[in-house]
Each structure stands twice: as structure tokens, then as C-alpha cells.
């Protein structure tokens, strides 16, 4: 068992820094409210180190202070990569040899989400972090639907393209929009297609919890820092592996 405490100025001193916004105009009372909130969060003592007005009636705060909480790393739950990380050459070779056709992928940002940076990083040839996107893989047929795609349009395009996998990026998270949109998407695919005919449903974005796949009705969740190579390797593992 490994027990750790936060590190601030010295090892194990329990010091942390948090930021938040309160719906209060910036004045002494607002600063006192920020410190009170930090105290209720378990920070004692709490030092207000930054306060800035954020428009009419809102203030952004940064508070630094000590907490007494301990973390048992043996009880931390994460989703470990359970598939081999393949090269582009290996991915193409496996698809060509085992699937004997191009693997079809449809990607989109659904709902009102207009932030295509995530889906483009995975799908577009230029890719991210020195890795080329899925369009670079000659054995992948990629359809990028872009932003603000409705769930019915996504389902119809996936059907028309005979998609093996559907990739959805969600960056907008206000009022848990990413969760609502993902549940609506998975429900629509379950209604429109029988279990054996449905594509893999994969979602990604900075605010997703990778442990929520079953709850959201998807096959895989990828968090921040995911690369195209990881996604392509997963597709081969999940689809070609299932075809054994």
C-alpha cells in the first residue's frame, strides 16, 4: 500500500491550489466568501492568492492552502490500455490480411458542439503530437462529418458508409451536455441497428470519465492526450480481434 499527500513547498506538506468562480462582484466580502468556501472544502489554513472580476457580478479566485487528506494509490481506479500499440504499417497489414477490406470509420462532433479540434486531431492527416491522423492509414476509410451533427444524421451516415466504428468528440461540457449527447447517441444506435450490426461507439473529450463506458452505452472512452495511433490500434484490437 502506498499513501501519498499533496506536495506544495515541501514533501508531504499537504498544500494544494484550487481555482473557482463565485457569482459575486469583487469586493472584500467576496474574498471572504472564497476563503470560507475553501475552508469548507477542507483547506486549513486557506490563503487567497488571486482574485479577478469576470464581468458583471462574477469573480474568479485562486486559493492556496493545506489539506489533511491522504491518497491510497492501491485504491485508485483507472482504465489501463489493454491492447498492443501498433505502428501504422502493422495496422494496415492486419486490416488488409484479416479484414480483407478497408475498415470504415465515421467521426463527428454531435449536438451543438462546434469544437472540431479533437475529432480533427484524430481523423485529419495532419494529426497531433507528431502522429498522422486516421486518414493517413491506407486501409481505413474515414468520413469526417465535422461539427454540430445531429444524432439522426450520424446514424444515417454510419449506415450509409457501413461504418465499423463511430468516433464522437465532445468538448462542450456545460450542464453535462457531453453526457446527455453521448447517451442520446448510444440509444439511437441501439434503436436503429441490431446488436450484431452496430458499429463500435467511441467517444472522447477532456471531461469524460473513462470508467463510464457501460453507463453511457459506448464501447470505449478516450480521454485527453489520446493519439491517432492509440485509436487505430484499438480499432484493430476490437474489430479484428472480435472477428477471430
Is 40 among the residues known to form the active site?
no
Contacts of 152 (CB under 8 A, 6+ apart): 188
Q: Name the grid cell of 200.
A: 463500435
Q: What residues pair up with 72 in beta bridges, in sequence order?
A: 3
Nearest of 149, 230, 238, 231 to residue 198 by alpha carbon: 238
Selecting among 40, 52, 126, 162, the annotated active-site residue is 126
What is d(CA 109, CA 91) in angstroms, rounded to the nearest whole number? 25
Sheet with 200-204, edge to edge strand ranges = 140-144, 103-108, 165-169, 200-204, 220-222
Q: How many residues does the chain have?
A: 244
Give catalytic residue positions.
126
Amino acid at each position: 500500500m502506498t499513501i501519498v499527500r499533496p506536495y506544495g513547498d515541501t514533501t508531504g506538506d499537504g498544500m494544494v491550489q484550487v481555482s473557482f468562480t463565485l457569482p459575486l462582484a469583487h469586493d472584500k466580502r467576496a474574498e471572504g466568501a472564497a476563503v470560507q468556501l475553501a475552508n469548507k472544502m477542507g483547506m486549513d489554513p486557506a490563503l487567497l492568492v488571486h482574485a479577478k472580476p469576470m464581468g458583471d457580478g462574477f469573480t474568479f479566485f485562486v486559493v492556496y492552502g493545506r489539506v489533511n487528506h491522504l491518497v491510497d494509490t492501491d485504491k485508485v481506479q483507472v482504465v489501463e490500455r489493454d491492447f498492443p500499440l501498433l505502428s501504422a504499417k502493422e495496422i494496415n497489414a492486419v486490416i488488409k490480411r484479416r479484414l480483407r477490406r478497408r475498415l470504415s470509420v465515421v467521426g463527428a462532433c454531435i449536438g451543438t458542439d462546434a469544437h472540431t479540434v479533437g475529432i480533427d486531431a484524430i481523423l485529419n492527416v495532419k494529426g497531433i503530437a507528431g502522429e498522422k491522423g486516421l486518414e493517413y492509414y491506407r486501409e481505413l476509410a474515414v468520413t469526417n462529418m465535422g461539427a454540430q451533427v445531429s444524432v439522426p444524421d450520424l446514424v444515417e451516415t454510419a449506415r450509409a458508409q457501413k461504418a465499423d466504428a463511430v468516433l464522437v468528440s465532445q468538448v462542450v461540457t456545460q450542464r453535462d451536455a457531453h453526457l446527455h449527447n453521448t447517451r442520446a447517441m448510444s440509444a439511437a444506435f441501439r434503436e436503429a441497428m441490431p446488436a450484431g450490426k452496430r458499429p463500435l461507439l467511441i467517444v472522447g473529450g477532456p471531461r469524460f470519465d473513462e470508467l463510464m463506458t457501460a453507463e453511457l452505452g459506448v464501447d470505449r472512452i478516450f480521454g485527453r492526450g489520446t493519439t491517432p495511433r492509440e485509436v487505430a490500434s484499438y480499432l484493430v484490437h476490437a474489430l479484428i480481434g472480435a472477428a477471430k
